[in-house]
Amino acid sequence: MTQNTKAKAAVIGQPVGHSKSPLIHNYWIEKHGIDASYEAIDIAPENLEKELIRLVDEGYAGFNVTRPHKEKVFAVCDSLDELAQAVGAVNTVTIKNGKMNGTNTDVFGFTENIKATRPAFDFKAGPAVVLGAGGAARAVIYALLKEGVPEVRVVNRTKNKAQTLARDFKRLRVHDWEKRSEVFAESNLLVNTTSMGQSGQPKLELDLTALPKNAVVNDIVYAPLMTDLLRDCEDRGNQIVTGIGMLLHQARPAFEAWFGVLPDVDAELEKRVLA
Ligand code: ATR
């Protein structure tokens, strides 16, 4: 019998059909001529444990996790690296010797997107404002503090969620959602991590008057690519960073962990994902 040496990875979720991950990873598999496959696997919550055992038994190199399985996978991983622990969420699992090791690649994705788009940006040059305190905000805040941002100002509609973050992270200040337009003074970076501005979601109402013209503005929403926030900020002279790069860059360390090659984000990949 011939041993099947093809490396296998997947994204698991429900629904999972909308996921861009198969397109991204299969693009790199083809580009690098790797004998591997990456598929989307729709798994109902009641079948998750059984399906995880199957992935391990069938020799998968690992998988990405999307809704609604993130919490459960976080809980059942055999080990969690520093990033998964700090963010409190797993989006990528590698399987070695039958053990599931959880990590979080959103931190890398966020930082690399800013660095790739605005190479001259200095994270240490001033405070950052983060809108939102959900799962994505945790990864963004951890990334900012790791890059040496002197102060992170968090504004969230539900204030106690932001206050919980302030207990977990240093150099973090919580401000009222109603006063969100007042926290921009001397800020160096503004990041929207809320779902506002996304297609079908409410518009993000912000008075940008106090935002310094040299501040960089990043929206992690990428559908639409040019959100109203980014358009308004670009119109007043701010440098902007769109959200698609975070999605693309967060996939790179996962691909490397499974298939041994750290791929690049190129214009063709960006074009295909946005098509
Ligand atoms: P994700 O994993 O993408 O971060 P999430 O954990 O559900 O998703 O977080 C969504 C974020 O968008 C939260 O900060 C949420 O604010 P609440 O904590 O108050 O729920 C924010 N958000 C979503 N809809 C909003 C709205 N209409 N107005 C203000 N904030 C909103």
Contact 197, 131 (CB under 8 A): no
pLDDT at 2: 45
Q: What is the pLDDT of residues 56-112, one digit of tens each?
A: 999 999 999 999 999 999 999 999 999 999 999 999 999 999 999 999 999 999 999
Identify whether 96 is a catalytic site residue: no
Between the CA of residue 228 and those of 76, 134, 166, 187, what are the distances in Å? 40, 21, 29, 20
pLDDT at 4: 65
Of ligand 1's listed atoms, the one at least distance from the Cα of 193 is 4
Quote the ligand 1 centre to 36 CA distance (angstroms): 36
* 215 phi/psi in degrees, rounded to 5: -75, 145
Quote the ligand 1 centre to 12 CA distance (angstroms): 23
- Check pocket membership of 134 for ligand 1, CB cut-off 6 A: yes
Q: What is the pLDDT of residues 130-143, one digit of tens each?
A: 999 999 999 999 99
Q: Whose CA is nearest to atom 6 of ligand 1?
A: 134
Quote the ligand 1 centre to 263 CA distance (angstroms): 31
Contact 177, 159 (CB under 8 A): yes
Q: Say which amino acid occupies 145.
A: L
Q: What is the pLDDT of residues 163-188, one digit of tens each?
A: 999 999 999 999 999 999 999 999 99
3-state SS class at 159: helix
Instruction: Determine the straight-line distance between the first and last CA of the chain, rounded to whole angstroms.
Output: 42
Q: What is the pLDDT of residues 3-56, one digit of tens each?
A: 567 999 999 999 999 999 999 999 999 999 999 999 999 999 999 999 999 999
pTM of the model: 0.95
**143 CB-near residues (< 8 Å, 6+ apart):** 106, 107, 108, 110, 111
pLDDT at 122: 98
pLDDT at 1: 42
